[in-house]
Chain A
């Protein structure tokens, strides 16, 4: 547990020394989502209907954008080598790192999502549905994405490859996350979606750290 905490703490320190990269995914997220109201016909009902989906897709893209840099700096300055040869469990260390990364991307996006909901004129009870959906979904996005980032860390321009590897894996999360919103708009129960998103999060939390550690050990070979 100490390992996780140490890496989490270090990652936080690094992020706050580098505020430029810290806010990039958030700005990207806001801009992508805001492009839609401008480019679509100005019908309140249309924006209301597609708003949730647009915000979800923007969150996926913003997460994607932040993935490439996740392990790149560590690889280039050699700290990744030192992590791999250290006797502390690599998977726990990476979990600490990925969770810290999530607080700066997924969590931040989630906190700002109600603001975007207003531009889409989404009713307030649905804002909460979207908020909790993102809160449950974005850590899974980051954890799965980190596997792709770990696999492509040695490549010079791995960003596109990460997208190709990872985006298909995001589809289930997107289906349940965005589906939750339309279900709720029709007045249906959304418990099953919440459970499914929760289950995917638990699965990712337990398995992704091992996959990340394994991928890193193999790629820096």
Chain B
């Protein structure tokens, strides 16, 4: 099964491309999917849908290189697999867990990620926090932030790193209406900059501003076709 969302003539080398072919996911004794193939490229948002337990998160984790796969291939720009440094340099992931240290302040959490990405600009951190409307919490320890604020902080991490491939697992969980609009705006800006997004979200994105950038991949149908 081949899903080719974007214009197939976009073989432009500037456009990033993620190709997954013949991918298999086995959890315990259950095969979640087999022979899964799709490709997506710059400025598209691939929305992975399906009921609970159909392997959405597993697929994202495989794409991130967190979960190993025995069969199939994941290729970034035709060359790099998830274990390559070039692939890792292009990838940012926000999963169910925020990846924040409770003992550190919001500012310090971001600062650590910025330094890991060889940056050192305190103003930029403040800008990112302001962008997600949590600047007033900058000096609070992450453990005293609310769930929604922590999610926002996790998103601030995406802005600080400037990576073309965003992998978002249920990005709107625990986020209020304002926050959702904000994150959608950030996603659209990212897409306009030729970024790529892979996301799971249990609701339809048809009415969201993201809809015009969106392609859908239904894991349940893929499971049935086997």
Contacts and interface: CB of A to CB of B under 8 A. Distances in A.
B103 A6 contact: no
A207 interface: no
Interface residues of B, number: 26
Interface string B83-122: 0010011010101111111111000100011011000000
B64 interface: yes
B105 to A, nearest CB: 10
A221 interface: yes
B99 A10 contact: no
A79 B66 contact: no
A6 B99 contact: no
B101 A85 contact: no
B103 A17 contact: yes
A88 interface: yes
B64 A85 contact: yes
Nearest to B102: A77
Contact of B101 (A6, A77, A220, A221): A77
A6 B108 CA distance: 12
Interface of B: 64-68, 85, 88-89, 91, 93, 95-104, 108, 112-113, 115-116, 141
8 contacts: A10-B112, A17-B103, A77-B97, A78-B96, A79-B99, A84-B65, A85-B93, A86-B88
Interface of A: 3, 6, 10, 13-14, 17-18, 76-79, 81-82, 84-88, 220-221
